[in-house]
């Protein structure tokens, strides 16, 4: 915290024996002691401080603790006598009692009014019916569930609007998940104060087969998203927000982690709420630009440093990371955050499933994967030994993952293992938030193949 942000607490009762401006020699308004009124010196004594020569300025008086009946030694009142203190119903006309029903339903009446209304409800059927309806309405005002909007509501509203009037410039379907997740994250950030922006966040992912993490803040997470989204912006011909930083770093700032670290390292101060504006403007620019591209633009390669993705997959990747880090932020500020709409979540799962064969091949080259029980190398484009990945839930489906070669085709005919996972849990495994050993998966078949696929899924994660 900077010096401008620090403050020192001041004790109002500190130095209560020193009253500036009132010395031993008194003042022009000094009175004899016998005429001077008793003043509270703010220390609870109720006396004028010794040596004071004038009246003490007015201070809030702190009342002394009151003794309870038990402490005073007096007998407790008889319980039978308490009945005499019960509120007596007021004698009110029907119109007045009817006007009190709303306040009664909200528990805003006095004790006497409540007694009068409840006594009246026992003899007036119309008021009793009205009171019941009002109580039910009050119950609707106090829903126990979260008031946050359903993640799919925005999609349904847009679809209803577009059905009535098609857009002049439609957004490609592969960009819709990013549009939705960026909007949801921006809504989460809208009311954040300084405390929330500086709340600590721990980014988690897997490096090799080991979990790793990096500590930052909510503002640091948005700076990370701004840095990585900039790689998509470069592909679309937009301005890179890190152009000066990456230019100074040279070839060392090409991947997501390197760009983020360069941004954090060159910032004079830790990122603050000011980073939201550039990130928000960049996300809007990405969505507007892809809306103007033709149908072939989805195949443009987006460089991630040591690998690349076509633009349509890169936009899904950005949507996935936007959701995952929004959950990190929501967890840091103790706020509920729902998963994406099922149709968008399904596309994110499909991207992860399509990337698994290449990650499995990389694991074999790095010596982190043992050979299968019955390896079956085949020519490119032909069916090979496969694992059936079954994703449960509204965003679910089935994918056949080729195990022995990324160029092979997954096939039910050569299925050697079967894994079943919930859709959200699979995505959190792919984000590096769940260890592969703890993934609640239904498993059947080749154990080594299952282990390789689970660890490869965690290996999809990165900072």
Q: Mean pLDDT per 10-residue run, the chain (463 residues)?
A: 40 41 41 43 43 47 43 52 54 89 88 88 90 84 56 71 74 93 94 91 92 94 95 92 70 79 82 91 94 80 92 96 96 92 95 96 86 66 92 94 91 94 95 90 90 95 91
* Calpha distance 197→189 (Å, rounded): 9
Which residues make Cβ contacts (< 8 Å) with residue 308, sequence separation at least 6?
301, 302
- Which helix (H) or strand (E) covers residue 392, if one does? strand 383-392
The per-residue b/e assignment along 268-285, b for 16 or more CB within 10 angstroms, e otherwise, is eeebbbebbeebbebbee
Strand ranges inside 140-227, DSSP E: 200-207, 210-217
Q: What pLDDT is stored for residue 151 in this prediction?
A: 61
Q: What pLDDT is stored for residue 381 in this prediction?
A: 86
**Residue-wise DSSP of 104-130:** HHTT-S-HHHHHHHHHHHTT-HHHHHH
What pTM was computed for the model?
0.65
Q: How far is CA 205 from the centre of its chain?
A: 18
**Residue-wise DSSP of 370-382:** PPPSS-----TTS
Q: What pLDDT is stored for residue 138 in this prediction?
A: 80
Strand ranges inside 130-187, DSSP E: none
Strands 409-422 and 383-392: parallel
Of 195, 192, 191, 190, which is closest to residue 5 (Cα–Cα)? 195
């Amino acid at each position: 915290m900077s010096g401008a942000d620090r403050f020192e607490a001041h004790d109002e009762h500190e130095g209560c024996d020193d009253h500036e401006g009132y010395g031993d020699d008194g003042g022009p308004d000094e009175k004899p002691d016998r005429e001077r009124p008793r003043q509270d010196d703010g220390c609870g004594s109720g006396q004028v401080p010794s040596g004071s020569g004038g009246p003490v300025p007015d201070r809030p008086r702190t009342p002394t603790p009151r003794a309870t009946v038990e402490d005073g030694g007096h007998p407790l009142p008889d319980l039978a006598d308490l009945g005499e203190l019960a509120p007596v119903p007021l004698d009110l006309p029907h119109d007045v009692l009817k006007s009190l029903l709303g306040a009664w339903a909200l528990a805003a009446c006095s004790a006497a009014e409540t007694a009068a209304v409840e006594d009246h409800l026992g003899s007036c059927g119309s008021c009793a019916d009205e009171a019941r309806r009002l109580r039910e309405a009050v119950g609707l005002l106090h829903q126990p569930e979260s008031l946050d909007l359903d993640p799919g509501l925005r999609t349904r509203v847009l679809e209803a609007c577009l059905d009535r009037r098609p857009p002049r410039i439609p957004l490609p379907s592969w960009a819709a998940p990013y549009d939705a997740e960026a909007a949801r994250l921006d809504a989460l950030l809208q009311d954040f104060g300084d405390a929330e922006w500086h709340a600590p966040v721990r980014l988690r992912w897997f490096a090799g087969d080991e979990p790793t993490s990096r500590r930052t803040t909510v503002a640091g997470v948005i700076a990370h998203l701004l840095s990585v989204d900039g790689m998509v912006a470069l592909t679309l011909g937009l301005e890179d927000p890190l152009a000066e930083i990456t230019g100074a770093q040279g070839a060392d700032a090409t991947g997501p982690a390197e760009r983020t670290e360069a941004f954090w390292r060159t910032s004079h101060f830790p990122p603050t709420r000011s980073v939201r504006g550039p990130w928000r403007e960049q996300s809007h620019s990405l969505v507007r630009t892809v809306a103007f591209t033709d149908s072939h633009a989805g195949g443009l390669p987006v460089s991630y440093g040591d690998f690349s993705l076509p633009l349509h997959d890169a936009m899904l990747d950005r949507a996935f990371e936007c959701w995952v880090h929004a959950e990190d932020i929501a967890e840091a500020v103790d706020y509920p955050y729902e998963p994406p709409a099922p149709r968008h979540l399904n596309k994110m799962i499909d991207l992860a499933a399509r990337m698994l064969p290449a990650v499995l091949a990389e694991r074999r080259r790095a010596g982190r994967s043992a050979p299968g029980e019955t390896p079956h190398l085949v020519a490119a484009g032909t069916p090979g030994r496969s694992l059936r990945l079954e994703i449960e839930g509204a965003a679910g489906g089935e994918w056949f993952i080729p195990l022995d070669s990324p160029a092979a085709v997954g096939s039910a005919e050569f299925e050697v293992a079967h894994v079943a996972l919930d859709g959200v849990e699979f995505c959190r495994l792919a984000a590096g938030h769940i260890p592969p050993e703890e993934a609640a998966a239904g498993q059947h078949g080749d154990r080594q193949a299952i282990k390789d696929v689970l660890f490869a899924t965690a290996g999809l994660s990165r900072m």
